[in-house]
Structure 1
Amino acid sequence: MLYYALLFLVIALIAAALGFGGIAGASAGIAKIIFFVFLLFLVVSLVMGLLRRG
């Protein structure tokens, strides 16, 4: 049990270092861009699927 506690402590310290370093904000911005790109791909594929049936 002590092993897991120390393991989670190390993971938390690494996550805190990355989060306080500004990397989290940049990652969130990239994630938003990727989300909208794939949302656009979804809409295009739905429209193309509807046009093929008709």
Structure 2
Amino acid sequence: MTVEQLLKALKDMPKTAVVLVEEDGGLAKVGGIERLEGTGGMPDEVLLIPDMSE
């Protein structure tokens, strides 16, 4: 999924919905994002980082 596809999918979601990501067989809130620069001809990537505060 590209950032463009993700934004398009999220556009129709409720603005107050919590974003979750699968983590170790469970679900975790997304606490942040990080851009990873592509190297050697690979595209940039976006990493969803779980919220570890709970």
Q: Same fold (TM over 0.5)?
A: no
Higher relative CO (CA 8 A, sep ≥ 6), structure 1 or 2? 2
Q: Tell me the TM-score normalised to structure 2 length.
A: 0.23
More strand by share: 2
Q: Which has the higher helix share?
A: 1
Higher gyration radius (CA): 1
Return the TM-score normalized by structure 1: 0.23
